[in-house]
Chains A and B, each alone.
Chain A
């Protein structure tokens, strides 16, 4: 089944404890991105990647890192999480940067205390 998977789905952590949220797609898509969803703000893009070893900042990149060493994986790294990063995170992928449809993962709900 073609899909985007994220792990974990739920995570509660404390301020300053490094964490990684994994994202993997099995559709051989070139383009991947991370969004956060907050009440009243909709979805905002954090980082994106046009292909392996090609990543760039989205609209709200502060406090996050990403890497793209393999085409299928695009982990989101929070080196020192803070409470304002409590949010619902979505990974998404497109076949190419110009493709119309983005395929979203199921989401990761992160709480930072």
Chain B
């Protein structure tokens, strides 16, 4: 079945370091891909999305490119801040018969130290 695999955490970085969180997926057809962020004590918020191959989603300095050839959607940020500390979830939505639901990865906790 469809699935999302993302790198295990936690990830601890110093402020201004470069961030990569790997995400790969398995799905039939052409899913849409998402990154959601969960700040402590809050629900999930959409960070960025890509709906077709080679699309690049970007928001708040974060970027991810939909790579169909490698079935990947890695999240990157050039210079992280303490305020980026959160749990990041990669997710896909199937192209057909999805009933709108998202398939989530297990989440990667990011801690950024000053």
Say whether A associates with B: yes
> A residues engaging B (CB < 8 A)?
4, 31, 33, 40-45, 48, 50, 56, 58-59, 90, 92, 94, 96-102, 104-107
CB-CB nearest 8 A-B residue pairs: A104-B43, A97-B100, A42-B104, A42-B106, A43-B104, A104-B44, A45-B101, A101-B46
> B residues engaging A (CB < 8 A)?
4, 32, 34, 41-46, 49, 51, 89, 93, 98-102, 104-107
Contact B51 A42 (CB under 8 A): no
Name which residue of chain A comes closest to B8, CB basis: A40
Q: Which residues of A contact B102 (CB under 8 A)?
A: 43, 45, 102
**By CB atoms of chain B within 10 A, which of A4, A97, A98, A104 has the most?**
A104
Q: Which residues of A contact B44 (CB under 8 A)?
A: 43, 90, 92, 102, 104
**By CB atoms of chain B within 10 A, which of A31, A43, A101 has the most?**
A43
Which of B49, B101, B106, B107 touches A100 (beta carbons < 8 Å)?
Answer: B49
- A43 and B45 contact, Cβ closer than 8 Å, known pairs A97-B100, A100-B51: no
A-B contact pairs, 20 of them (CB 8 A): A4-B43, A31-B100, A40-B106, A41-B106, A42-B4, A42-B106, A43-B44, A43-B89, A43-B102, A45-B101, A48-B101, A50-B100, A90-B43, A92-B43, A100-B32, A101-B46, A102-B44, A104-B43, A104-B45, A107-B42
